[in-house]
Structure formats: C-alpha cells, structure tokens
Amino acid sequence: MKILVTLQNNDIAPRFDLATEVLIAKIVRGRISGEPRTVLLPGPGSDELCSLIIREEASLVICGGIEESHFQYLVWKKIEVIDRVIGPALQAIALAMAKQLRPGSIVRLVTEGRAPS
C-alpha cells in the first residue's frame, strides 16, 4: 500500500490544486517501510497531480480541499481519498494507518512524552 499526501512545508497542503510537492510512504504490514520520500512537482495543477498518483500506484491520498471532479476521478480509479485534512503530514499518515483519520480531521502535532490534547 502507498499513501500519498499533498504537502506545503511539512503540513498537508490546504488545497489539492496548489500543492507543489507530495510525500509518499510505502506501508508494509502496518508500518512505514523505509523512509517516506518527497517528490517536487513542476508546478501546481490537479491534472498533473492525479497523473502522478496513478503512476505511483497510491492507494490512499490525504489532502486538504479538493474539487469534486478530481475527487470523483480518484475514487473511480479505486483510490481512497481522505480530504479536508489539516495538520502535519506524518501524524496524518500515522492516523490513517491506525484507521483513525477521517475527512475534515484536524491533526495535532504529538511530541514524545506528551499525551495529545
């Protein structure tokens, strides 16, 4: 399984069509395999991003706002989309792996030794 997250710095990009980089994590037996990789995009654009998602064979996309037509296209391609997510990308991936990430989630940064608030 591959999870692809649209990025702005280390956080989820607020809009799918304005993302200029993505984070791709390969999940094997419920854990991230290796180091997640960042892919810089040549520029913002939904069609190019959808093409990358298909080429990378991502099975889950985590993003902020996404136009309905692109959302429906990815779902038609059998790719799960969790949209309207705000917060740090790595924590969102961890929640998705635990099946706890939902559309519209606000993800908080969790630091070691502290319980989430």
Give per-residue pLDDT as tens, 31-66. Answer: 999 999 999 998 888 999 999 999 999 999 999 999
The three-state secondary structure class of 101 is: coil
Read off the pLDDT band of 93 (50, 70, 90): very high
Tell whether 102 is covered by a domain.
no
Domain tally for the chain?
1
Domain encompassing residue 63: 2-97
What are 87's two structure tokens?
């917060």
Tell me the whole-structure pTM to 2 decimals. 0.90
Name every residue whose Cβ is closer than 8 Å to that of residue 111 and which is 6 or more positions away in sequence.
Answer: none
We report the CATH number of the domain holding residue 77 as 3.30.420.130
CA-wise closest residue to 62 among 74, 73, 51: 74
Residue 114, in any domain of the structure: no
- How high is the mean pLDDT of the chain? 92
Does 64 reside within a domain?
yes
- Is the confidence at residue 73, as pLDDT, over 80? yes
**Quick check: 117 pLDDT over 50?**
no
Please indicate, yes or no, if residue 12 is contained in any of the structural domains: yes
What is d(CA 101, CA 91) in angstroms, rounded to the nearest whole number?
10
Q: At what angle do helices 46-55 and 68-76 cross, to 10 degrees?
A: 20
